[in-house]
Amino acid sequence: MIAFPNCKINLGLSIIQKRADGFHELETVFYPVALNDMVEVIHNNDHSNPVIFTSTGIPVPGDETQNLCVKAYHLLKKDFPNIPAVKIHLHKHIPMGAGLGGGSSNGTAVLKIINDQFNLGLNNVQLINYAAQLGSDCPFFVFEKACVAKGRGEILEPFNCDLSNYQIVLIHPGIHISTAVAFSMITPHAKQKSIASIVSQPIETWKSALINDFEAPIINAHSIIGTLKNKLYDSGAIYASMSGSGSSLFGIFPKQMTLSKTLFGAQIRVDIV
């Protein structure tokens, strides 16, 4: 069975306080964007290894046992021991360490595939519970529609936000941002106005009001990100921001505008969706 998990962007991101469990209390609006990876899960007749993981596309570094696709399999296998051995293949297109949630999307896709392929009968509430055990962003990819996220990102409420009349430009400058390092750069604080209330305003007001708390310190450390954000506005974006803890940026443009990837430099990856 094959799935094409998409990425997300953050419309605003407030880090409100550090919690006793070491996580941070936050608020953001997750919005799904149609930039996709591909995940395939098939039976593996060699039962000596319960899960074999392979990948193509963008190289996936690190110990494969720590990959969220593999972790998703073992998470379900623990509660459903009759799940057979599988092969998981990931074709990676969404940049990693970029604030787009690609790894979270992949892991959640494996949960959903295994649930369907092996008739586990899990409903969305149960899938969300499993996804939350994989990572803070993962439950969003069960919803697959705009959501206000609170807590550490796992408390989700569907939110009325429709950007289908716009086009979104994603820019990845080729910089990997460590989430832990990004959190160490900011001072959590309560905000006067919620992210949800700002996103409910006309999009033309977002530029002056909708803020990602990670953006200023990350731009201070990597000036190219600030340069690219300015380039998005210079090119006609109604709103532009960094996504998550970076380093990807996005710009929201009128649907009818003709955009060129070459505006942002030949060495910069640009996706128009």
Instruction: Supply the residues annotated as catalytic.
Output: 8, 137
Work out the widest C-alpha separation in the chain, in whole angstroms.
58
Q: Closest Cα to residue 98, out of 14, 222, 197?
A: 222
User: Running DSSP on this structure, what letter comes out for residue 171?
Assistant: E
Q: How far is residue 47's CA from residue 226's CA, in Å, rounded to a whole number?
A: 51
Exposed/middle/buried for 268, CB within 10 Å: 0-12, 13-18, 19+? middle
Nearest to 100 by CA among 169, 32, 49, 13: 32
Q: What is the DSSP letter of 232?
A: H
**CA–CA gap between residue 1 and residue 42 (Å, rounded):** 6
Half-sphere exposure of 198 (CA within 13 A, CB side): 21
Tokens at 229, concatenated: 């954000």
Dist CA 211 CA 69 (whole Å): 32
Handedness of CA 20, 22, 28, 34 (dihedral sign): negative
* Short-list 271, 204, 197, CA closest to 237: 204
